[in-house]
Amino acid sequence: MSTITISAGHLRTRIDGNFKGKDIVSLDQFSQKDLYKLFTLTHEMKHIAVNSVPSNLLAGTITSLLFYEPSSRTFGSFAAAIKRLGGQTLDIQSPETVTSVYKGESFEDTIRVFEAYSDAIVLRHKIAGAAKQAAEAAEFVPIINAGDGNNEHPTQTLLDLYTLYETFGRLDNLTGLLVGDVLNSRTIHSLIRGLSLFKQNTVYLLSPQRLQLPREDFQQLSARGITIIEIASEQEIPHDCDFWYWTRIQKERFASLEDYNGVAQQTFTVTPQLMQRCASKNMILMDPLPRVGTIEPSVDRDARAVYLRSQIRNGLYIRMALLALVLGKA
Ligand code: NCD
Residues with CB under 6 A from ligand 1: 73-74, 147, 153, 156, 186-187, 247-248, 288-290
Return the bridge partners of 24, or none.
Answer: 144
Distances (CA, A) of 320 to 55, 189, 257: 11, 23, 38
Q: What confidence tens digit (pLDDT) does each residue in 91-144 have?
A: 999 888 877 777 889 999 999 999 999 999 999 999 999 999 999 999 999 999
Catalytic residue check, 124:
yes
3-state class (DSSP) for residue 295: strand
d(CA 201, CA 215): 20
Buried b (16+ CB within 10 A) or exposed e, 246-273: bbbbbeebbeeeeeeeebeeebbebeee
Q: Give distance in angstroms: CA of 293 to centre of ligand 1.
A: 14
From ligand 1's centre to the CA of 115, what distance in Å?
A: 25
pLDDT tens-digit series, residues 64-73: 999 999 898 9
pLDDT computed for residue 184 by the predictor: 97
pTM for this entry: 0.95
- Most ligand 1 atoms within 8 A of CB, residue of 72, 78, 156 to mutate: 156
- pLDDT by residue, tens only, the chain of 330 residues: 334 444 333 345 999 999 999 999 999 999 999 999 999 999 999 999 999 999 999 999 999 999 999 898 999 999 999 999 999 999 999 888 877 777 889 999 999 999 999 999 999 999 999 999 999 999 999 999 999 999 999 999 999 999 999 999 999 999 999 999 999 999 999 999 999 999 999 999 999 999 999 999 999 999 999 999 999 999 999 999 999 999 999 999 999 999 999 998 889 999 999 999 999 999 999 999 999 999 999 999 999 999 999 999 999 999 999 999 999 999
